[in-house]
Amino acid sequence: MGCLMHRHVIAVLLGGAALGCGSWKRVGSKEAPAPGEQLTQLVNVSSFYQRLGRLAAPEPLPFVGTVAFAAGPGDSVITALGLSLENRALAFQREGNLFVARYRVGISFQQEGARSVDLTREEVVRVPTFQETLRADESVLFQQILRLTPGSYKVTVTVRDASSTAESRAQGKFVAPSFSAGSTSAPILAYQATGRGALTDPLSVVLNSRGAVGYGADTLLAYVEGYSFPGPATVPFRVLDEQQNVVYTDSLRFRGGRPVESQVIRLAPDSISLGELKLLVGTPPNERSVSALVSFSQEWVITNFNEMLDLLRYFGHDSRVNAMRKAPAAERSRLWREFYAETDPSKITPENEALNQYFGRISAANSRFTDEGVAGWRTDRGEVFIALGPPDETIETSPGTAGRVVRWTYLSYRLSLFFQDETGFGRLRLTPGSRAEFERTLNRVRRQS
């Protein structure tokens, strides 16, 4: 379904019933937790995205969604619902030369006293390699366009994997606003956006469902529409940080005399604050807003330098990590940009594929190694998994008993590693000989790369 790009993107236009369809592919807490707990919680970000006003569901099939509104013809409201999923959450099967996963999305917009708008979509994701199936970053984008009437809606989204029993659900309340003459839409966070010339034209956006941007990486794009201004108009645009400080201001200029006009605002993530941002258009009482996130990774809620440096303990490039650790606050932004650029294996893309893979492996390690009483990425198995990837072969003796031994084999490295529970408390440690072999192999791999 569709052509190959970096994320898998799926979109459809619907007006109560389907009007048309198409698809394409790309692929604050009350009490501060202890440092170890805080790093563990970075894996489960659904509650954070819910606080940002997103539809967010946890395991077993995690996703993050958003709902955006724009003026439609007559009194209708064009509603865009976007979902962000990860390949690793889907059950892929080999079909010919491809790996294929199928999933079902159920959507319901319920307005009190009115008939709900319900629909179900069956979708297919195809990737060329097994490694693609393990991706833990935003690798599937789903999008649905509807036409609604103004009002308050309870939105329910269910995503189910067709090849397993994995299913997750998210709910949220959203208000589809009326758009009077001289009003604007709220900022719509998107990866791509094309302006409209008429209210009957389709809304052409690829939603940034998470509303996230990586610090030092992509640009945060916000799309704003203005409606039926009688003449030239200037509308204020502001960005607030988590402390409600104004960190960016601009003015949106509309010519007037047109049913719909559009503006695109691009914010460089290294020029604004880390953490949650609020983007506001207009002035009270007609002000409209949306929340965004600037993090060290689009897939992780990492907005603190010390947290990031702790997470990078297995990444290598120790001298650069230590330099950032010792640097004064004023230098850290520059050092991070240099670190991001130097460790990026593909300069032709805006993302750092090495960091994406690294964070994906941390997430996968936390999901896989849950039986030692600590976060999976901080176990010996997690360390090896993050550094070398999944083993080609795993053999375990006496599982669940004291003295259990696990052997991992990496055929390409001609390496066998043994993890042993010497204490009987369930903690699997690399044996001394395996620790030495692992470190020698890792040093060789890093030199070659």
pLDDT digits (tens, 9 = 90+) for 71-126: 999 999 999 999 999 898 999 999 999 999 999 999 999 999 999 999 999 999 99
- Phi, psi at 269, each rounded to 5°: -65, -20
Q: Output the pLDDT for position 19.
A: 32
Q: Is the pLDDT of residue 393 over 90?
A: yes
The secondary structure of 252-297 as a DSSP string is EEE--SSS-EEEEEEE-GGGS-SEEEEEEES-TTS-EEEEEEEESB
Does domain 1-177 fall under CATH 3.20.20.80? My reply is no
Of the two residues 382 and 423, the one the predictor is more confident about is: 382
pLDDT band at 30 (very low <50, low <70, confident <90, very high): very low
Q: Output the pLDDT for position 199.
A: 97
* Single-letter code of the amino acid located at 194: T
**Alpha-carbon radius of gyration of the chain:** 24
Q: Is 432 left (phi over 0), alpha (psi -120 to 50) or beta?
A: alpha
Are the CB atoms for 215 and 274 separated by under 8 Å? yes
Rounded to two decimals, the pTM is 0.73
* Equal CATH topology for 1-177 and 179-302: yes
Q: Output the pLDDT for position 138.
A: 82
* Single-letter code of the amino acid located at 24: W
Closest of 164, 160, 210 to residue 56, by C-alpha: 210
Stretch 123-136: mean pLDDT: 89
Distance CA 140, CA 81 (A): 14
Q: Output the pLDDT for position 419.
A: 95
Average pLDDT, the chain: 85
Q: Is the pLDDT of residue 356 over 90?
A: no
What is the residue extent of each domain of the chain?
Answer: 1-177, 179-302, 368-448
Are the CB atoms for 267 and 244 separated by under 8 Å? no
Q: Is 389 left (phi over 0), alpha (psi -120 to 50) or beta?
A: left
Does domain 179-302 fall under CATH 2.40.50.140? My reply is no
Q: Output the pLDDT for position 397.
A: 82
Closest of 412, 386, 445, 449 to residue 136, by C-alpha: 386
Residues sharing a CB contact under 8 Å with residue 439, sequence separation 6 or more, in sequence order: none
Q: Output the pLDDT for position 282.
A: 95
